[in-house]
A and B are shown apart, each in its own frame.
Chain A
């Protein structure tokens, strides 16, 4: 099934999750589900940047997915970028989490993505636009889990000190609460109709 995720500004990503389905013999794992993530950019063919993002998304999803309940199956997550106005990776993370939630796959926790931009003067901007990302000294993206706000994935572009990274992380963890509340409200709205 497909799910639309809208991030701040105009960044939007369409996510479709298929599975657990039959896996090819070459790809099946004997004790857990094989998760495959495909990220398609808005224009052009997927390149190295998409491949590295796919690996980040796959590792984050595998950390929360209870794959041991579906051995020898394949789960495919396809993400299509509809528009990009900054904070694309965290938008993809949110879309991936909602797709997993919507499909009814067993999860140990939820996760969300938050992007921080560290500006040259040291201020922290959450969910920056494309312009703010370009002007920033460093752009950090975190995947935060819903249980005890643990960090599942952190990726940085640019340079920053360890203290600054800790500050960005703290800001991201508090912003994550808003996103988890949004998940809860969306699910409530969906189940209010049945």
Chain B
């Protein structure tokens, strides 16, 4: 149980924290800071700005945990603290790359379902090489891979399929065939980590194409329908399998 005064943030890195836990930052161990600003450059406190990531909120002298999960810390550039939690429901965040399903065409914008609380809007001009005369060929039911330019709690989220220099860099309409399915957000983050073992092992099994959306959606396409479904089943099961079980399952499949 966390004491009322809170425990040091560094002591809890890598451990489970619950909502209501108060984390104290290095500059505030001994003071009852009431109305004092966060002195980041005093004494032995790290220089720079401390980033308060998802699952944490600034509260008085420290950080209040708002979601349950593992506390993580990144020491570079002033430091960042965040809570690694498992969730299935997606909340749009600016800059996230997601897979959306076109649900309606309303005048000059497309409405996309991204799995959040509101449909996102995508302008027809937000594709590479699109002009008023050269419209992209998007139908209701198509899959689009894009990123959010506007995503906050007060406004409807907006997506684009070009980056800041006007190039598509992999975004746009996802092609024919393939299979779209949903997994938890934690698994997506694991798959997106550099040198992910799961993807390396799967690529040795069959060649396939994959698009990962931060909203929990994965699109997979392999040469045959059966291979696609096998990859889908393995990815869905990866959430609950340990590394050993996964290696065994893959060994059994490649032996067939």
Contacts and interface: CB of A to CB of B under 8 A. Distances in A.
A73 interface: yes
A122 interface: no
B18 interface: yes
A177 B4 contact: no
B186 interface: yes
B66 A108 contact: yes
Given A66-B66, A147-B4, A22 B20 contact: no
Interface string A152-188: 0000000000000000000000000100110110011
B19 A181 contact: no
A181 B153 contact: no
A194 B86 contact: yes
Please report whether the interface of chain B is mostly helix, strand, loop or mixed according to DSSP: loop
Given A70-B117, A73-B117, A108-B64, A103 B87 contact: yes
Contacts of A191: 16, 69-70, 86
A27 B64 CA distance: 30
A146 B64 CA distance: 13
Nearest to B67: A104
Contacts of A41: none
Contacts of A146: 1, 18-20
B36 interface: no
Contacts of A22: 117-118
A101 B18 contact: yes
Given A70-B117, A73-B117, A20 B91 contact: yes
Interface residues of B, number: 28
Interface residues of A, number: 38
Interface string A1-18: 100000000000000000
B85 interface: yes
Nearest to A33: B117
A130 interface: no
Contacts of A107: 19-20, 66-67
A1 B86 CA distance: 12
B154 A71 contact: yes
Given A180-B1, A188-B16, A70 B64 contact: no
A70 B66 CA distance: 14
A148 B22 CA distance: 12
A145 B1 CA distance: 12
Interface in B73-128: 85-89, 91, 116-118
Given A20-B91, A180-B1, A194-B186, A110 B70 contact: no
Contacts of B118: 22, 72
Interface of B: 1, 4, 16, 18-20, 55, 57, 64, 66-70, 85-89, 91, 116-118, 153-154, 186, 240, 242
Given A21-B117, A71-B153, 6 more contacts: A22-B117, A64-B19, A71-B154, A107-B20, A109-B20, A147-B20
